[in-house]
Homo-oligomer: A and B are copies of this chain.
Amino acid sequence: MALDAPCRDTVALGPLGQSLGFVLRLAQLTAYDDFFAVTDSLRFKPGEFSVLWVISLNPGIRQSQLGQRLMIKRAHMTKLIRQLEQRGLLTRRIPDSDRRAIELTLTPAGQSAAKAVSSVLFAGEPKPEGGLSDSERKTLLALLQKYVGLPAA
């Protein structure tokens, strides 16, 4: 408390406050808090969950595809996958068609974990989410999707 609330708003930002990159960083920190506020005790970080989730939707997906879609670098992807494998959440398989590649599939444990997190994370969706109205949230999302080149679905 005594967070000195007025102080925050009296700090001049100038054009920095109009900078997309800067505001995006603040927004991501806010969203990060929202994520943990919802998943809370579930033992996943955002990155881990997104990997788990996308594998559950795309069984047999290869690491490289996963990394490209999630914008996770290959070196980091290796660590992520290894950890999730050690936790018994997924299995790795080398296909005969291309023995360099690795196909990823969730174990039953991984599937139920993905389900558990997604059910609270994607539930209803009227989560904290700042003070945005439903239509504002939709507009924001659509613009962000366009910005990052995601199909607006």
Chain A residues within 8 Å of B, Cβ to Cβ:
3-4, 7-9, 11-32, 34-35, 46, 50, 53-54, 57-58, 61, 64-66, 68-69, 71, 118, 121-122, 125, 129-132, 136-137, 139-141, 143-151, 153
A27 engages B66 (CB within 8 Å): no
Q: Is the interface of A mostly helix, strand, loop or mixed?
A: helix
B58 engages A12 (CB within 8 Å): yes
Residues from chain B with Cβ under 8 Å of A22 in the complex: 46, 50
Give the complex CA separation of A47 and B41 in angstroms: 30
A27 engages B144 (CB within 8 Å): yes
Q: Take A130-B148, A132-B146 as given contacts and tell me if A68 and B3 are in contact as well, using a CB distance cutoff of 8 Å.
A: yes
Give the complex CA separation of A58 and B8 in angstroms: 12
A131 engages B153 (CB within 8 Å): no
Give the complex CA separation of A32 and B24 in angstroms: 10
Q: Take A18-B153, A30-B148, A68-B3 as given contacts and tell me if A11 and B54 are in contact as well, using a CB distance cutoff of 8 Å.
A: yes
